[in-house]
Each structure stands twice: as structure tokens, then as C-alpha cells.
Amino acid sequence: MNLDKKILICFNEPTRLYTNYLGKEITSESENIDLSERDFLNQIENIKTILSKKFLSVDTLPVNSDIKSLIKKINSFSPDVILNFVESVEGVSNLESYVAGIFDLLGIPYTGNNPICLGNCLIKSRTKQILNSHGIKTPRHFITTLNRVPSPRELLMRYPMILKLAREDASIGISEFSVVNDYDSLKQRLQYLYKTYNQEVLIEEYIEGRELNVAILGDQILPISEIRFDGLPENLPKIITYEAKWSPDSIYYKHTTPRCPAPLEKKLKQKIEQLALEAYKALECRDYARVDIRLNNKNVPYVIEVNPNPDISPDSGFVRSAAAAGISYEDLLFRLTQMALNRIQYDTQAAI
């Protein structure tokens, strides 16, 4: 136990950057808020209560763009460790890594991944470059420049293709219209994404097959989850949309069913675990991350995405995998905190 330690929980102050997060036309005012932020905000006090059982002092701090105020408040509290749950600053996802950088400059250990890892995983083109340089399979892809539609010759991929925002996470902008089957649909989707989100787009070969999530805690691979799409209408692509994650009343949410542990033949399971661990190490993840993988019709695994500092709400996929490994929610929070505390001891020993 570390009853003498002071813990500060930092999280992004909820805000609205886009007028639309769903990746399709909205039908009500309630749909133009970022549900991923609202969902986790509800868990902050619960996390504080859990950690207060073992630590001297636990406080929370919402983070916005007022950096001077942030630094002043952190210094005033003088934490031994920061639990870093900041995923964006005023809705801007690529500022996530900047906040971790501030913690580094202040010399305060924090949970989760460092700025370089966070930045490399958010920018999808960079993620693919790093993974491919390590011989790790990812789907073929093309990164657009803003407001430009590539020619069919440039794409060098077969349909169907899936279009994703090049610098976003939490499935923002992903809907049933993200998978396209012809060039006209691709152009239409690109124009919509440019207009709505004003950023580059990743065009990727769509791997139609089983969707697997591999959660990694420290150096421990947790039981693999499979996302099933049982009952989803045949005309809808089997993908994890924004609604599938955050909108309980949506058809995607209702027909996106996790199964953990995933039923996998032993050799295939080992292959997937090894691939996930290689991706984790290639991107220099630490503490915790989730690697998303798709199997094609020949059971060849492709890394779709690497998610450092994934959502750890009680009903999240990462927590589900931890529970399947016999790790309670409280224990998971304590382990993450202890990993950061261990870095204090390591740095102290290194300085001697």
C-alpha cells in the first residue's frame, strides 16, 4: 500500500469541437455532442472513490487549454502520481500528447503512455509506417490531402474500402456509410468527411472478417475479446461505428456483442497474441494499450489500430478482458497507479 501518496486524476474537460460526431447526418440536437467524453466523465468520481481507499489524498482536475492554470493547479496539489485520462483538449485529439509532455516537463510520473507513443498512434499514417517497418501486417491504405479526391489509379486497392479520419479516435466519424463499394460512393464520402471534420482521411482496404481486441496490461496479454455482429441487418457493414460504442438506442449498439474470451484455435490465438505484442512494442507502448485486429477469410490477422490509454470505464472492452483474467476493476486501477509509482523508484535508483 502507498497510503502516504497523493494522487491527481486528470481528464479532459468536456467540450464540443465538431457539430457532428456520428459520421452521418444527425436528426436531433442530442446527437451533436461527444458521447465518449460524457460517458467517461460519469466514471471520474467513482475512480476517485476507489483510489481513496488506499491513498492519502485523491483529487480530480479537468484539463482545458488554459495551460498556465493547469500547471498552477498541479503544482498546488503537488501529486506523487497523475492518473492521465486526458484524451483531447477542448475536443482536439492531437493535443492529448502535449498534456503528457507537460507532465514530463513537471517531472511528475503519470499512468499510461508517453507523448511520442500517443502521437504516433493517433496519426494513422505514422502508425502504419512504424508497424510496416517492423513487418507487421496492416490493410493497404492511402492517406489523402485535405479536400483532394485521389484518382482510382492512385488507390491501388480493391473494393470495398473503409474511410476513417486520419487524426481521430473513439470511432469519431465512423458510420454505416464509412464502407464504400465503388468510386462514386468513395468521392461522396470523402467530400462529406472534408466538409464535416476538415481533416485528412485514411482510405483503407476493408478486411471483412472477425474483429478481435487484444488488451495488454504491462507485459501481460489479457484474454482476447471478439466483437460479434449477430442480428445486424445484412445491408450494414460489420464495423465498430461511433454509435456502436456510445449510443445505446442505436441499431449498431444493440447488435454489437462482445465475447470474451474469444473462441480461437490454439495456434491462431498464439499468432494473434504475438502479433499484438509486436505491435505494442513497435509503437513503444507502456502500462496499457489495446490492439485491434481483423482476420480475413483465410484467418490471416491484420492490425487495424493500436489504442494507447484505451477507455477503462467499467463496461469497456479493456475492463472486460481484465475481468476475464481475474483482475477486478479496483485492482486494475491500483495496478496502473502502481506502475507509475514504480517509475519514481526506478528514476530514483538510476540517479544514485
**215 part of a folded domain:** yes
**116 part of a folded domain:** no
pLDDT, tens digit only, all 352 positions of the chain: 557 999 999 999 877 655 566 777 666 554 555 555 666 677 899 999 999 999 999 999 999 999 999 999 999 999 999 999 999 998 899 999 999 999 999 999 999 999 999 999 999 999 999 999 999 999 999 999 999 999 999 999 999 999 999 999 878 899 999 999 999 999 999 999 999 999 999 999 999 999 999 999 999 999 999 999 999 999 999 999 999 988 899 999 999 999 999 999 999 999 999 999 999 999 999 999 999 999 999 999 999 999 999 999 999 999 999 999 999 999 999 999 999 999 976 554 443 3
Write down the pLDDT at residue 15: 73
Q: Is the same domain home to 140 and 259?
A: yes
Write down the pLDDT at residue 34: 58
**337 part of a folded domain:** no
Q: How far is CA 212 from CA 251, 258, 264, in A?
A: 20, 9, 10
Q: Is the same domain home to 224 and 75?
A: no
Here the cell at position 99 is 498534456
Write down the pLDDT at residue 169: 83
Q: Is the same domain home to 302 and 173?
A: yes
Q: Is the same domain home to 32 and 156?
A: no
Domain with residue 282: its CATH number is 3.30.470.20
**350 part of a folded domain:** no
Q: How far apart are the C-alpha atoms of 347 and 1, rounded to whole Å?
A: 20
Question: What are φ and ψ of residue 202, in 5° steps?
Answer: -90, 120
**48 part of a folded domain:** yes
Q: How far apart are the C-alpha atoms of 32 and 88, rounded to whole Å?
A: 17
Please answer whether residues 13 and 90 qualify as being in contact, where contact means their C-beta atoms are separated by less than 8 angstroms: yes
Give the start-end residues of each E strand in the chain.
6-12, 57-63, 81-85, 141-143, 161-165, 179-180, 201-205, 211-217, 220-221, 225-228, 257-259, 288-295, 301-308
Q: How far apart are the C-alpha atoms of 283 and 305, rounded to whole Å?
A: 11
Q: Is the same domain home to 146 and 275?
A: yes
Write down the pLDDT at residue 32: 52
Please answer whether residues 210 and 294 qualify as being in contact, where contact means their C-beta atoms are separated by less than 8 angstroms: yes
Q: Is the same domain home to 86 and 162?
A: no
Q: Is the same domain home to 194 and 231?
A: yes
Q: How far is CA 109 from CA 28, 50, 286, 326, 350, in A?
A: 42, 20, 13, 27, 15
**Residue 90: partners with Cβ closer than 8 Å, 6 or more residues away:** 12, 13, 15, 17, 64, 65
**275 part of a folded domain:** yes
**346 part of a folded domain:** no
The answer to whether the bond into 14 is cis (omega within 30° of 0) is no
Q: Is the same domain home to 54 and 167?
A: no
Q: Is the same domain home to 174 and 95?
A: no
User: Among 276, 269, 274, which Cα is nearest to 299's?
Assistant: 269
Q: The whole model's pTM is what?
A: 0.92
Q: Are strands 141-143 and 201-205 parallel, antiparallel or unpaired?
A: antiparallel
329 CB neighbour count, 10 Å cutoff: 17
Domain residues for 195? 135-324
Q: How many domains does the chain have?
A: 2
Sheet architecture: strand order including 81-85: 57-63, 6-12, 81-85
Q: How far apart are the C-alpha atoms of 215 and 342, rounded to whole Å?
A: 21
Write down the pLDDT at residue 39: 61
- First and final C-alpha spacing in the chain: 24
Question: What are φ and ψ of residue 92, in 5° steps?
Answer: -90, 110
Q: Is the same domain home to 178 and 67?
A: no
* DSSP per-residue string spanning 193-249: HHHHH-S-EEEEE---S-EEEEEEETTEEPPPEEEE-TT--TTS-----HHHHH-TT
Q: Is the same domain home to 242 and 93?
A: no
Q: Is the same domain home to 105 and 231?
A: no
User: Among 35, 2, 11, which Cα is nearest to 99's?
Assistant: 11
Here the cell at position 231 is 442480428
Q: How far apart are the C-alpha atoms of 56 and 286, rounded to whole Å?
A: 26
Please answer whether residues 243 and 175 qualify as being in contact, where contact means their C-beta atoms are separated by less than 8 angstroms: yes
Write down the pLDDT at residue 246: 84
Please answer whether residues 100 and 114 qualify as being in contact, where contact means their C-beta atoms are separated by less than 8 angstroms: yes
Write down the pLDDT at residue 42: 74
Write down the pLDDT at residue 49: 95
Please answer whether residues 283 and 205 qualify as being in contact, where contact means their C-beta atoms are separated by less than 8 angstroms: no
